[in-house]
Protein backbone atom coordinates (compact mmCIF):
# COMPACT_ATOMS: atom_id res chain seq x y z
CA UNK A 1 0.00 0.00 0.00
CA UNK A 2 1.30 3.44 -0.94
CA UNK A 3 1.62 5.91 1.91
CA UNK A 4 2.98 9.46 2.09
CA UNK A 5 3.60 11.14 5.45
CA UNK A 6 4.62 14.80 5.62
CA UNK A 7 6.43 16.23 8.64
CA UNK A 8 8.34 19.37 9.50
CA UNK A 9 5.65 22.03 9.56
CA UNK A 10 5.24 24.53 12.35
CA UNK A 11 5.36 28.18 13.31
CA UNK A 12 8.28 30.14 11.88
CA UNK A 13 9.15 33.84 11.82
CA UNK A 14 9.30 35.76 8.54
CA UNK A 15 12.70 35.36 6.94
CA UNK A 16 13.24 31.99 8.58
CA UNK A 17 13.85 28.55 7.07
CA UNK A 18 12.10 25.23 7.36
CA UNK A 19 12.58 21.81 5.78
CA UNK A 20 9.57 19.65 5.07
CA UNK A 21 9.89 15.89 4.69
CA UNK A 22 7.63 13.43 2.92
CA UNK A 23 8.34 9.83 3.88
CA UNK A 24 7.10 7.38 1.28
CA UNK A 25 6.31 3.69 1.52
CA UNK A 26 5.00 1.23 -1.02
CA UNK A 27 6.98 2.67 -3.93
CA UNK A 28 10.40 4.18 -4.70
CA UNK A 29 10.55 7.98 -4.59
CA UNK A 30 13.59 8.27 -6.86
CA UNK A 31 11.82 6.34 -9.64
CA UNK A 32 8.78 8.57 -9.63
CA UNK A 33 7.47 12.04 -10.33
CA UNK A 34 6.89 13.78 -6.97
CA UNK A 35 5.46 17.20 -6.27
CA UNK A 36 4.65 19.64 -3.50
CA UNK A 37 1.33 21.45 -3.47
CA UNK A 38 0.14 23.98 -0.90
CA UNK A 39 -3.17 25.43 0.19
CA UNK A 40 -3.42 28.68 2.10
CA UNK A 41 -6.26 28.89 4.65
CA UNK A 42 -9.58 29.16 2.83
CA UNK A 43 -7.91 29.28 -0.60
CA UNK A 44 -7.44 26.98 -3.55
CA UNK A 45 -4.65 24.57 -4.39
CA UNK A 46 -1.32 26.02 -5.52
CA UNK A 47 1.36 23.94 -7.17
CA UNK A 48 4.80 24.60 -5.60
CA UNK A 49 7.42 22.31 -7.14
CA UNK A 50 8.01 19.03 -8.96
CA UNK A 51 10.92 16.63 -9.32
CA UNK A 52 10.90 14.09 -12.11
CA UNK A 53 12.41 10.62 -11.98
CA UNK A 54 15.34 11.81 -14.08
CA UNK A 55 16.06 14.61 -11.61
CA UNK A 56 14.62 17.65 -13.44
CA UNK A 57 13.08 20.14 -11.05
CA UNK A 58 10.64 23.00 -11.58
CA UNK A 59 9.23 25.66 -9.30
CA UNK A 60 6.30 28.05 -9.19
CA UNK A 61 7.35 31.65 -9.76
CA UNK A 62 6.16 32.51 -6.23
CA UNK A 63 8.84 30.29 -4.64
CA UNK A 64 11.60 30.26 -7.25
CA UNK A 65 14.97 31.06 -5.70
CA UNK A 66 13.68 30.48 -2.15
CA UNK A 67 12.50 26.84 -2.14
CA UNK A 68 14.39 23.72 -3.18
CA UNK A 69 12.99 20.24 -3.81
CA UNK A 70 15.15 17.15 -3.35
CA UNK A 71 14.94 13.47 -2.53
CA UNK A 72 16.98 10.88 -0.64
CA UNK A 73 16.98 7.33 -2.00
CA UNK A 74 18.48 5.88 1.17
CA UNK A 75 15.42 6.75 3.24
CA UNK A 76 12.89 7.02 0.39
CA UNK A 77 12.00 10.57 1.34
CA UNK A 78 11.11 13.74 -0.55
CA UNK A 79 12.11 17.13 0.87
CA UNK A 80 11.21 20.77 0.45
CA UNK A 81 13.75 23.24 1.79
CA UNK A 82 12.04 26.58 2.34
CA UNK A 83 14.16 29.70 2.90
CA UNK A 84 13.33 33.40 3.27
CA UNK A 85 9.82 32.52 4.35
CA UNK A 86 7.05 35.11 4.03
CA UNK A 87 3.62 35.45 5.57
CA UNK A 88 2.10 34.48 2.21
CA UNK A 89 3.83 31.08 2.42
CA UNK A 90 1.46 30.15 5.26
CA UNK A 91 -0.39 27.06 4.08
CA UNK A 92 -0.90 23.35 4.41
CA UNK A 93 1.80 21.67 2.34
CA UNK A 94 1.07 18.35 0.65
CA UNK A 95 3.38 15.97 -1.16
CA UNK A 96 1.90 13.97 -4.01
CA UNK A 97 2.77 11.49 -6.72
CA UNK A 98 1.82 11.91 -10.35
CA UNK A 99 -1.92 12.35 -10.94
CA UNK A 100 -1.68 9.12 -12.95
CA UNK A 101 -1.18 7.40 -9.59
CA UNK A 102 -3.01 9.92 -7.43
CA UNK A 103 -1.39 9.50 -4.01
CA UNK A 104 -1.33 12.38 -1.53
CA UNK A 105 -0.13 12.81 2.02
CA UNK A 106 -2.25 14.23 4.81
CA UNK A 107 -0.45 17.59 4.72
CA UNK A 108 1.62 19.58 7.19
CA UNK A 109 0.78 23.13 8.28
CA UNK A 110 3.37 25.88 7.92
CA UNK A 111 2.58 29.17 9.64
CA UNK A 112 4.82 32.15 8.95
CA UNK A 113 4.16 34.85 11.49
CA UNK A 114 5.96 37.15 13.88
CA UNK B 1 3.61 29.99 -17.94
CA UNK B 2 0.44 28.21 -18.96
CA UNK B 3 -2.63 29.49 -17.13
CA UNK B 4 -5.62 27.32 -16.27
CA UNK B 5 -9.02 29.02 -16.16
CA UNK B 6 -11.76 27.04 -14.46
CA UNK B 7 -15.47 27.87 -14.49
CA UNK B 8 -17.80 28.36 -12.81
CA UNK B 9 -16.27 29.28 -9.46
CA UNK B 10 -19.49 28.27 -7.68
CA UNK B 11 -22.20 25.92 -8.85
CA UNK B 12 -25.51 25.31 -7.10
CA UNK B 13 -27.24 22.07 -8.00
CA UNK B 14 -29.58 19.41 -6.67
CA UNK B 15 -29.21 15.69 -6.10
CA UNK B 16 -29.77 13.94 -9.41
CA UNK B 17 -28.66 16.88 -11.57
CA UNK B 18 -26.12 16.57 -14.34
CA UNK B 19 -23.35 19.14 -13.92
CA UNK B 20 -20.36 20.19 -16.00
CA UNK B 21 -17.24 22.09 -14.96
CA UNK B 22 -14.94 23.57 -17.59
CA UNK B 23 -11.20 24.14 -17.57
CA UNK B 24 -9.36 26.09 -20.28
CA UNK B 25 -5.60 26.17 -20.79
CA UNK B 26 -3.89 29.27 -22.20
CA UNK B 27 -1.81 27.01 -24.46
CA UNK B 28 -2.26 23.47 -25.65
CA UNK B 29 -1.44 20.84 -23.04
CA UNK B 30 -2.39 17.73 -24.99
CA UNK B 31 -4.23 15.44 -22.58
CA UNK B 32 -2.11 16.22 -19.51
CA UNK B 33 -5.00 17.27 -17.33
CA UNK B 34 -6.27 15.91 -14.02
CA UNK B 35 -9.43 16.58 -12.04
CA UNK B 36 -9.56 16.51 -8.24
CA UNK B 37 -12.27 16.50 -5.60
CA UNK B 38 -11.56 18.03 -2.21
CA UNK B 39 -13.64 18.08 0.94
CA UNK B 40 -12.96 20.45 3.86
CA UNK B 41 -9.95 19.48 5.93
CA UNK B 42 -8.99 16.63 3.61
CA UNK B 43 -6.32 16.11 0.96
CA UNK B 44 -7.50 16.29 -2.65
CA UNK B 45 -8.51 13.07 -4.35
CA UNK B 46 -7.80 12.36 -8.01
CA UNK B 47 -10.93 11.60 -10.03
CA UNK B 48 -9.65 11.80 -13.62
CA UNK B 49 -6.15 11.75 -15.11
CA UNK B 50 -4.93 12.16 -18.70
CA UNK B 51 -8.10 14.18 -19.35
CA UNK B 52 -10.48 11.22 -19.56
CA UNK B 53 -9.08 8.26 -17.60
CA UNK B 54 -11.16 7.41 -14.55
CA UNK B 55 -9.11 6.68 -11.46
CA UNK B 56 -9.74 3.21 -10.08
CA UNK B 57 -12.47 3.23 -7.46
CA UNK B 58 -14.05 6.49 -8.63
CA UNK B 59 -17.78 6.16 -9.42
CA UNK B 60 -18.75 5.91 -13.08
CA UNK B 61 -20.95 9.01 -12.82
CA UNK B 62 -17.73 11.03 -13.08
CA UNK B 63 -16.27 11.54 -16.55
CA UNK B 64 -13.72 13.79 -18.19
CA UNK B 65 -13.28 14.90 -21.76
CA UNK B 66 -11.29 17.26 -23.93
CA UNK B 67 -7.79 17.78 -25.22
CA UNK B 68 -5.59 20.68 -26.25
CA UNK B 69 -7.01 23.68 -24.43
CA UNK B 70 -10.60 22.80 -23.50
CA UNK B 71 -11.57 20.24 -20.90
CA UNK B 72 -14.71 19.29 -19.00
CA UNK B 73 -15.58 17.30 -15.91
CA UNK B 74 -19.13 15.93 -15.91
CA UNK B 75 -21.05 14.37 -13.05
CA UNK B 76 -23.97 12.57 -14.62
CA UNK B 77 -26.26 12.37 -11.59
CA UNK B 78 -25.23 14.24 -8.47
CA UNK B 79 -25.14 12.30 -5.23
CA UNK B 80 -25.06 13.83 -1.73
CA UNK B 81 -21.38 12.85 -1.35
CA UNK B 82 -20.43 14.90 -4.44
CA UNK B 83 -20.93 18.31 -2.86
CA UNK B 84 -17.32 19.45 -2.53
CA UNK B 85 -14.71 21.57 -4.29
CA UNK B 86 -13.26 20.52 -7.64
CA UNK B 87 -9.97 21.51 -9.26
CA UNK B 88 -8.34 20.91 -12.61
CA UNK B 89 -4.55 20.70 -12.92
CA UNK B 90 -2.21 20.74 -15.86
CA UNK B 91 0.70 18.35 -15.21
CA UNK B 92 3.74 16.69 -16.75
CA UNK B 93 5.25 20.02 -17.72
CA UNK B 94 7.43 22.78 -16.34
CA UNK B 95 4.59 24.42 -14.42
CA UNK B 96 1.78 22.31 -13.07
CA UNK B 97 -0.85 24.92 -12.52
CA UNK B 98 -4.21 24.35 -10.88
CA UNK B 99 -7.44 25.99 -11.88
CA UNK B 100 -9.04 28.35 -9.37
CA UNK B 101 -11.51 25.71 -8.20
CA UNK B 102 -15.27 25.16 -8.34
CA UNK B 103 -17.34 24.89 -5.20
CA UNK B 104 -20.33 22.63 -5.80
CA UNK B 105 -23.12 23.55 -3.43
CA UNK B 106 -26.50 22.10 -2.66
CA UNK B 107 -29.33 24.17 -4.18
Contacts with A60 from chain B: Cβ below 8 Å: 95
pLDDT for B1 beyond 90: no
pLDDT for A58 beyond 90: yes
Q: Per-residue pLDDT averaged across A4-33, rounded?
A: 97
Nearest to B1 among A33, A61, A106 (CB): A61
Concatenate the DSSP letters of all residues of A54-111 into one string: TS-EEE-TTTTTTEEEEEETTTTEEEEEE-S--GGG-EEEEEEE-TTT--B---EEEE
Residue pLDDT, tens place only, B32-91: 999 999 999 999 999 999 999 999 999 999 999 999 999 999 999 999 999 999 999 999
- Is B103 an interface residue toward A (CB < 8 Å)? no
Contacts with B100 from chain A: Cβ below 8 Å: 44
Amino acid sequence: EVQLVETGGGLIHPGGSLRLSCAASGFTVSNNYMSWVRQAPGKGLEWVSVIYSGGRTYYADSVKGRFSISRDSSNNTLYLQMNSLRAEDTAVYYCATSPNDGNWGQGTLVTVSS
Amino acid sequence: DIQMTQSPSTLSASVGDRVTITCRASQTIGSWLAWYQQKPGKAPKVLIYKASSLKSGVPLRFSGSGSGTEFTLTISSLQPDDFASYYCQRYNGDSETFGQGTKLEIK
